[in-house]
Amino acid sequence: MHIFALETDVNKIKQRFCHGGEGEKEVFMTYYHGLSFFFAILREMLITTVLAALGVAGWIYQWPVWWTVWILASVWFVLVFFNIIKAYIDWAYDFILITTDKIILVDQTSFFKQEIKPIHLENVGAVSTRTQYWDIFPFGVVCIHLKEGLGGDRITKKYIPHASKVAGILSEVVTEYQRRMPGGGVLKS
């Protein structure tokens, strides 16, 4: 389904960016861990709890019911609802796709914003990983270091399930790509 800039069909995104006819194959795909959604809405859960407590206080002190409900519901809708929807879309529809030729980073932040970054493997200088939250949970951070000639940027993605496995697969795919390339994948100046 396509709603403004939000594309919910992963296969349509794959068809747009993966060219299987040219020998490109999907190697690995991962979504972000579910706790990324939970941590993104912690503030909204706190606000909801405070508003519910105000509702209970209003019931105890016999505030006008309709006014209390209307005001609390309006405040909740303005402060919480849209942030939860945004966090859900950001979690449910973002993914990383690794193919034999590129890494595709899909970031669908809302109904109105979509960013897809295909990074060709020849531009990847290194891959690293870090833990998050003292490595209590089964996710971490994957950093993709781009080559210096291309700005030397680093792309960091958090809440990647089994980040060390993903970094290992990515590193292996980059190495295989460099071996296939004439000149060993080294860019000539």
CATH number belonging to the domain at 2-32+94-181, selected among 3.40.50.720, 2.30.29.30, 3.30.70.260, 1.20.120.160: 2.30.29.30
Q: Output the pTM of the full model.
A: 0.84
pLDDT per position in the chain (189 positions), as tens? 778 888 888 999 888 888 766 788 999 999 999 999 999 999 999 999 999 999 999 999 999 999 999 999 999 999 999 999 999 999 999 999 999 999 999 999 888 899 999 999 999 989 999 999 999 999 999 999 998 755 668 999 999 999 999 999 999 999 999 888 776 555 544
pLDDT at 183 (0 to 100): 65
Distance (Å, whole) CA 68 – CA 72 = 6
